[in-house]
Structure 1
Amino acid sequence: MINEERIRDKLYEEFIKPTNQDKNFIGIEIEIPIINLDKKAVDFDVVHTITDKFQKQFNDFKADGIDYDSNVFALKNPKNEDIVCYDCSYNNIEFAMGREKELFSINERFSEYYAFVKESFEEYNHTLTGMGINPYRKYNINEPIPSERYLMLYHHLKSFSNYENIPMHFHKYPEYGMFSSASQVQLDVTRENLIQTINVFSKIEPIKALLFSNSVLYGEDDKYTCFRDALWEYSTHGVNPHNIGVYDVDFKDINDLQAYLESLNIYCVMRDGAYINFPSMNLLEYFKQDYVSGEIYCDGEYRKIDVKPLISDIKYLRPFKFINLTFRGTVEFRSICTQPIRDSMCVAAFHMGLKDKLDELEEIVSKDNVLYHRGYTAGELRKLLIQDKLPEFINLDCLCDLSREIVDLACDGLEQRGIGEEIFLNPLYDRIKRRSNPGKDVIKSVNNGTEIEKIIEDYGKLGITI
């Protein structure tokens, strides 16, 4: 058994200590659904052909992930650390851009990669689009990439029937990682502003839902503009609510944050290069065990195995909070859906602009009476604002004013950087003006008779909204 003091020290070393550095870089990951316009499953042979074609075109990229069938699922450029890969399945492509000090160079490289890949797919009547849930998901083969990590992840998500004694509802989409797409941002954070960053950004999650929602479960549900939230919450990732969603607590200091880390669940570790799944359990409880019973993938099937907890297993603690503290000393913002492609940089611009405006942002929130001080937590408010129809107690005019005030503050932050990145916020001003967001636009368009193919095409267009 490993004592709690040692666990606490290791958590500090892995999560808190890296925030000592002040680097001020930006990292961006954009996941994008692949669509077969023939209304058939995405052709994985086409995917592999285009992966090979991409590597030949951008020959600085080297294979960085090869599946059990010898297909490349990840390419990496060692010069700038850009990665082009497939996320969870070959139905979803991801552009993980190497860290930079500003957004224009990231946007330039992303646009070049995206244009090439999209054009290549269109030669086979496939395409890419900026939607948080693949509208053609029902046609696809929802199988994980045959690799160690993705087989483990899907095995974990499929295990919901093993949690019969837990009083929670599980949805029917354990394969959701294969059809849902996010736009994630990583920002460097210093020890001094770590707690305030988490506290203040947590409070604006409802506003982010209002501005960025873009995950409509087309064909099944038209009430929610960001169904992705429910996909995470009501899966095995949500067995412990602390592992997902909003921080509905205010941290006073590092000790509070560390206590929260200790409250998280762990569900997998690795031994000799192979993942071992076991029932999701609290981290401290895990380390009290002499052995934990789990399952390991071997020769096409899973077999039982007992694993002895090691203190180094903390590196496999992977919560999926809306705001994650990473091993690299960065804060990762992961609550936002993939955006229409032309608006892709607005996510990073919003967060980057507010990063050094925490005092002002905190003041805006503390004085607000539109959303806050009405008996709701940030998490509860976000659940209300991912619905197409807002609750009666919210004044839409005042809510738009509040949203504009926050986006204005982000704009001020970017203007002070003196680079011109505030141009990337233009889509948000347009959404506030129209009192809409991409998810609401999808619902309205479909209800008005617009074919989903028109929306797929529109949301897949490249360019900056100016």
Structure 2
Amino acid sequence: MENIIRDKLYKEFIEPTKQKKNFIGIEIEVPIINLNKEPVDFDIVHKITSNFQKEFNDFSPNGIDYDGNTFSLKNSKNSDIVCYDCSYNNIEFAMGREKDLFTINDRFITYYTYVKEEFEKYNYTLTGMGINPYRRYNKEIPIPSERYLMLYHHLKSFNKYNDIPMHFHDYPGYGMFSSASQVQLDVHYDDLVKTINTFTKIEPIKALLFSNSVLMDENKHVTCYRDALWEYSTHGINPHNIGMYDVDFESIDDILNYLETLNIYCVMRNESYINFETMNVMDYFKKDHITGEIFNNDKYEQIKIKPEIDDIDYLRAFKFINLTFRGTLEFRSVCTQPISDTMSVAAFHLGLKDKIDELDELISNDRVIYHKGYTPSELRKLLIQDELPAFINKKELCGLTNNILDIAKEGLIERGLGEEIFLKALYNRVKNHTNPGKNIIKSLNDGEDIEKVIKNYGGV
């Protein structure tokens, strides 16, 4: 059975990377904010969704909730998806794959501008902040659909895990108020090991550049609280399912070994999700049956199922760098950025992907943050703080970060499309020793109204 499982993992996660492709996929989650400081009215959301479909008639519903409301629209021509993520408090723009950033950016700005102007008619707005600054006003109600009810049920189940040495936070609904900017890139089989290893080592630098998730009124010294929201939830019961790798892979076999250490917590039967206690995927397949819970007629009921090899399809990790069934690497550690800087995330990853050897050499020889007794995960935890630790020289850190940006810029220049322009905001952040999260904290400490930040971060 173990060989069957391993072969299935290889077929689903590794085999697709052997295709020669070079596309870019981008997902941008954006909080919806009711400037009246009241809960987002979902009826307004549904009206705007309907208006969007009429305005952009290539879009049609591909997700309908249990109440008959559309929560996802897909473009039949370019596969763009405009949907709501976890709840109707968050909107997501999942852009269909393309070969250049300008094409993606033009379409994103078109959709975003229309939706924002529609919301503004009701004194609502959209903004590029990784945690909704008005989260305390909103209702934490998941989208009434199979996937999102299952996900929220899983996250709320943390009280069942009393026998593990782990602290859980008090925000099981964090998916309804936190937003990310994710990038999917085609990385070929031959480059998979080095790309994962090298990008893992620059996660601390990415924290320095992109942090933008400040939990208002709590933990205001942390610039990227999203990390903790994932780590100290039921997704983080097995730390291999979230965060960073902190190991150097030497081969594809090493990656497969890692996949075998992941936990599984849900499957589908007859188009219905079944939740069960999160467990190692190899242990799951050793069991004759699993007792789980299924949502039926507005309540959860117990159900027994027999593991099937195709249940591998529901093995979902939430790593900072994820292998996907599409044969891509998904980079998912970055918060939603101020909207005018949205493409900086994809530009950074795309430029470095094509210069992985140069990046690997730079990081392997680094003495600014590495070779000081800290792992990549430990360094990232330090660099999402508002203040740098004393052992890091600020000037040298800026130099290292600029060198990484220069490599990304060179990679983009070699593509010959002018995409390096999207890195400008990142160079400015290094020059000013800041990032969006630090700017939020400074604004709050200076007594600036959060509404001004919301407006600035939402402008195109």
Deviations 1:250-293 (A, max 9, x none): 00000000000000000000000000000000000000000011
Asked if 1:57 is matched to 2:50, the reply is no
Separation of aligned partners in 1, 2:192 and 2:58: 36
- How far 1:233 moved relative to its partner? 0.2
Give secondary structure in 1 for the equivalent of 2:335: coil
Cross-structure match for 1:207: 205
Match of 1:423 among 421, 428, 453: 421
Give secondary structure in 1 for the equivalent of 2:417: coil
Cross-structure match for 2:454: 456
Asked if 1:401 is matched to 2:393, the reply is no
1:283-362 to 2 correspondences below 5 Å: 283-362=281-360
> When the two structures are aligned, how many residues end up with a matched partner?
460
Cross-structure match for 1:74: 72
Give secondary structure in 2 for the equivalent of 1:432: helix
Deviations 1:300-353 (A, max 9, x none): 000011111000000000000000000000000000000000000000000000
- How far 1:355 moved relative to its partner? 0.5
Give secondary structure in 2 for the equivalent of 1:361: helix
Match of 1:259 among 242, 257, 260: 257
The residue type paired with residue 386 of structure 1 is I
Give secondary structure in 2 for the equivalent of 1:313: helix
Deviations 1:352-390 (A, max 9, x none): 000111110011101111100111110110000001111
Separation of aligned partners in 2, 1:126 and 1:291: 49
Asked if 1:149 is matched to 2:147, the reply is yes
Deviations 1:122-145 (A, max 9, x none): 001110000000000000011100
- How far 1:182 moved relative to its partner? 0.1
Give secondary structure in 2 for the equivalent of 1:360: helix
- How far 1:218 moved relative to its partner? 1.1
Cross-structure match for 1:101: 99
Separation of aligned partners in 1, 2:369 and 2:316: 31
Match of 2:86 among 88, 110, 130: 88
1:347-386 to 2 correspondences below 5 Å: 347-386=345-384
Separation of aligned partners in 1, 2:373 and 2:283: 34
The residue type paired with residue 445 of structure 1 is S
Separation of aligned partners in 2, 1:36 and 1:204: 36
The residue type paired with residue 457 of structure 1 is K
Cross-structure match for 1:221: 219
- How far 1:57 moved relative to its partner? 0.2
Match of 1:276 among 259, 274, 288: 274
Cross-structure match for 2:438: 440
Deviations 1:75-117 (A, max 9, x none): 0001100000000000000000000000000000000000000
The residue type paired with residue 371 of structure 1 is I
- How far 1:221 moved relative to its partner? 2.0
- How far 1:22 moved relative to its partner? 1.4
1:180-199 to 2 correspondences below 5 Å: 180-199=178-197
Match of 1:38 among 20, 36, 39: 36
Separation of aligned partners in 1, 2:60 and 2:92: 16
Separation of aligned partners in 1, 2:124 and 2:3: 54
Cross-structure match for 2:14: 16
Deviations 1:23-47 (A, max 9, x none): 1000000000000000000010000
Give secondary structure in 1 for the equivalent of 2:388: coil
Give secondary structure in 2 for the equivalent of 1:443: helix
Question: What fraction of aligned residue pairs are identical, expressed as a percent?
Answer: 69
The CA RMSD measured in Å over matched residues stands at: 0.4
Contiguous gaps of at least 5 residues in structure 2: none
Asked if 1:130 is matched to 2:131, the reply is no
Separation of aligned partners in 1, 2:382 and 2:218: 19
Q: TM-score, normalised by structure 2?
A: 1.00
Give secondary structure in 2 for the equivalent of 1:359: helix
Contiguous gaps of at least 5 residues in structure 1: none
Separation of aligned partners in 1, 2:399 and 2:440: 23
Match of 2:171 among 146, 170, 173: 173
Separation of aligned partners in 2, 1:427 and 1:246: 26
- How far 1:54 moved relative to its partner? 0.2
Separation of aligned partners in 2, 1:300 and 1:223: 41
- How far 1:73 moved relative to its partner? 0.1
1:115-126 to 2 correspondences below 5 Å: 115-126=113-124
Separation of aligned partners in 2, 1:357 and 1:375: 27
Separation of aligned partners in 2, 1:401 and 1:292: 53
Deviations 1:188-240 (A, max 9, x none): 01110011110000000000000000000012221100000000000000000
Separation of aligned partners in 1, 2:305 and 2:31: 36
Match of 1:162 among 138, 160, 163: 160
